[in-house]
Chains A and B, each alone.
Chain A
């Protein structure tokens, strides 16, 4: 078992390195795409800043707090988007073309093969942009750091990547039924990034519930952020809940894998 996981991971690394090498063959294109990715996602940051410059605060929330959420979700999303490219393009490149059969003909899990399909390095543009904003936010906030907070942040980062990765897996699963990747999933992926830039507390109750219990976006951004800020949650959540909340991101990932398996069973029985 452990041996097989190590073997799977070694294969994954090999596929990823293969993918990176082939992207680096076109150096100029890589540079331009990274810069483009940096600029387009950076425009959003500018938008947030412009908003605050005009209105000062957003209720009780300060610009550095918003910037913290903004930087966190952008970094996490950039990593997930770069890693999950195989799932993102699954409908058009694998189902529609029948190329998925090729993956099924190989003695490896389909998740592993799709995960290793492509690692998009130009997503580094969004990551750097998010990291800069995040760094500025941390500096401005003057957070009282201790080991627990650092661990929480690392945990949140991992769970956040898992959360967005899961969204891409769910999107891919839908394409077994509707070949084109659904636009509706974009409202959760890109829409999720936009939503999570602002504190969950500013949204209506029904949205808060949705983004906590169904699509636990708030659990990988808002709740752990409250704990890191060291403030009381206007929504009334406990510190313990805030620390445990990122688990929901991992749970969401597990649910996505389960759904994926179900999709595969559908695919192999309909053969379409």
Chain B
């Protein structure tokens, strides 16, 4: 059975309309107008133990709402969700004992406490037995290279250092599920790399299930086999990263003369609005060989190259088209 099962998840927020100006603010006190915003619109997916899934989408697509519901801290307006045989928001305490959550934007640690004392408190909060705690703590300290940071109060850490500590903190109770919400945001290249290696290792060696939201496609390329794409609260794609990559090839064709392309071929252009020249870039999602032979047979072609499109561009392109 799936470890994480999500069916038809819906979330509707009720937002008070703000009217502009002082008068608007005052009248809003008396006569408040609400607007409903659908953050999730029937999202379904399931994740098996040990999977490492990337969850992407533009800002405001519904990623964080999903993570919050899966973490048990937000109750959906409709739909089902079962994680480790529990409904997260019905049984919050038992549920969160078995998961780890890292928010890139916000630390889970105590701002004023030295790192090691934060870990120590978490041990008590999660009721980790002393022996198990020492083993896992020392292992995390080694793997994430935290030795030099242990006595520093969290507020004095750099973002990259803090992120490593946050990651360690989320694993002290050895959860079998880890939610990472934009863990690499704002990190430098070195910090990003070490974080990615650690997450991959945690997934491979411990079998921890990971659900990762990010805007950094390198995270996705390095880490994830599977990718889910959400926009406007609807899941638009759920497949492997390889599928996505092979689904989009770029074919650059240099024609002998400005070609009189058929409507079907015109539509495949990377930028359908641009004026036609001798060089045309096509975006071909499937059946590249058939496309290439159709082009070479139909028009006078001087040169032709097929390129893998960087995943960053594929996704940006998807976002643009989904608007």
Seen from chain A, the residues whose Cβ lies within 8 Å of a Cβ on chain B are: 7, 10-11, 14-15, 18, 22, 98-99, 101-102, 104-109, 265, 268-272
* A157 nearest CB across to chain B (Å): 29
Inter-chain CA distance A11–B124, complex, in Å, is 6
Let me know if A14 and B75 touch, CB within 8 A.
no
Let me know if B65 and A271 touch, CB within 8 A.
yes
Inter-chain CA distance A104–B110, complex, in Å, is 15
Let me know if A269 and B75 touch, CB within 8 A.
yes
Inter-chain CA distance A110–B74, complex, in Å, is 15
Let me know if A18 and B108 touch, CB within 8 A.
no
Let me know if B75 and A268 touch, CB within 8 A.
yes
Inter-chain CA distance A268–B90, complex, in Å, is 11
The residue from A15, A108, A109, A268 contacting B74, defined by CB atoms under 8 A apart: A268
With known contacts A101-B73, A102-B106, A268-B75, A107–B126 Cβ distance under 8 A? yes
Inter-chain CA distance A272–B12, complex, in Å, is 12
* A143 nearest CB across to chain B (Å): 44
Inter-chain CA distance A270–B77, complex, in Å, is 9
The residue from B94, B108, B112 contacting A105, defined by CB atoms under 8 A apart: B108
Inter-chain CA distance A15–B113, complex, in Å, is 11
* B235 nearest CB across to chain A (Å): 20
Q: Which residues of A contact B117 (CB under 8 A)?
A: 18
Inter-chain CA distance A101–B26, complex, in Å, is 31
Can you give 22 contacting A-B residue pairs, CB < 8 Å? A7-B127, A11-B124, A11-B125, A18-B110, A18-B121, A22-B113, A98-B106, A99-B106, A104-B92, A105-B71, A105-B96, A106-B96, A106-B126, A107-B125, A265-B75, A268-B73, A269-B74, A270-B13, A270-B14, A271-B13, A271-B65, A271-B74
Q: Which residues of B contact A109 (CB under 8 A)?
A: 93
Inter-chain CA distance A22–B124, complex, in Å, is 18
Let me know if A107 and B68 touch, CB within 8 A.
no
Within 8 A of A (CB), among B108-129: 108, 110, 112-113, 117, 121, 124-127
Inter-chain CA distance A144–B158, complex, in Å, is 64
Q: Which residues of A contact B94 (CB under 8 A)?
A: 107
With known contacts A18-B113, A98-B106, A106–B125 Cβ distance under 8 A? yes
Inter-chain CA distance A129–B11, complex, in Å, is 53
Q: B97 contacts the other chain (Cβ, under 8 Å)? A: yes
Please, what's the 1-or-0 string for B61-90, where 1 marks a CB less than 8 Å from any CB in chain A?
000010010011111000000000000010
Let me know if A104 and B124 touch, CB within 8 A.
no
Let me know if B97 and A107 touch, CB within 8 A.
yes
Inter-chain CA distance A109–B112, complex, in Å, is 22
Q: Which residues of B contact A102 (CB under 8 A)?
A: 106, 108
Inter-chain CA distance A22–B96, complex, in Å, is 28
Inter-chain CA distance A7–B73, complex, in Å, is 24
Let me know if A268 and B124 touch, CB within 8 A.
no
Q: Which residues of A contact B74 (CB under 8 A)?
A: 268-269, 271
- In addition to A101-B73, A107-B93, A107-B96, 19 A-B residue pairs with Cβ atoms within 8 Å of each other are A14-B124, A18-B110, A18-B113, A18-B121, A99-B106, A101-B68, A102-B108, A104-B71, A104-B72, A104-B73, A104-B92, A105-B71, A105-B73, A107-B94, A268-B73, A268-B74, A268-B75, A268-B89, A269-B75
- Among A7, A14, A104, A269, chain B packs the most CB atoms within 10 A around the CB of A104
Inter-chain CA distance A10–B74, complex, in Å, is 29
Q: B101 contacts the other chain (Cβ, under 8 Å)? A: yes
Let me know if B125 and A108 touch, CB within 8 A.
yes
Q: Which residues of B contact A101 (CB under 8 A)?
A: 68, 73, 103, 106
Inter-chain CA distance A7–B121, complex, in Å, is 13
Inter-chain CA distance A101–B112, complex, in Å, is 19
Let me know if B71 and A22 touch, CB within 8 A.
no
Inter-chain CA distance A114–B71, complex, in Å, is 20
